[in-house]
Amino acid sequence: MRKSEKREKIVQILNEHFPDPDVPLDHVDPFTLLIAVLLSAQCTDERVNQVTPALFLKASNPEKMQFLSQEQIYKIIKPCGLGPQKSKAIKKLSQILVNNYNGLVPQDLESLETLPGVGHKTASVVVSQAFGIPSFPVDTHIHRCAQRWGLSSGKNVSTTEKDLKKFFPTEQWNKLHIQIIMYARKYCSARGCFGLECPICRACYPKRKSKFKHKKP
């Protein structure tokens, strides 16, 4: 199968299953999205969505969040895991946003990545989904599917991100990021399909007979 044929087939199947994908983390603005994505590290989106209403009821902007104690934040976000680190990061980044950015979330990756608790993936999600800037954040779901579908060697998430950006047109990145995550969770899960069962795996490799062996991110 030619590269262009594979790309068209993957996009077609994703559009059939998830034509209008939305960010699975509940939020109302860039700040609440930033906090939700930060909390989602090593935690499910469902758990984050259960926790954030109580947190945002107390403080839905950096001006208010900076005045919550780390302990107050921790008590609310504890179910998300990594509570001490995340609560410290949330308080500190809120202070930085107020002091350095007039209380606004910066719109560039470089500035976002300087904030406590904000790595490249988190920053990429925020710029793409809050500001519409083309980006292709790679999580474990996308990393797994990129290997199964033959889009990347899977050497590491950085390589996978670069490979996907080369494979798909820039204008499709933001939508595809959400679509692939949703598709992976439902049809191409870590403990299911293994490159043999889902529509995209079958379309990309119809003759594959044995389970695909992954490289870890």
- Residues carrying an active site annotation: 121, 139
Beta carbons of 105 and 112 less than 8 angstroms apart: yes
Positive or negative torsion for Cα 161, 45, 71, 105:
positive
Give the whole-angstrom CA distance, residue 47 versus residue 86: 15
Contact status, residue 76 vs residue 58, Cβ threshold 8 Å:
yes
Q: Count of CB atoms within 10 A of residue 4's CB?
A: 8
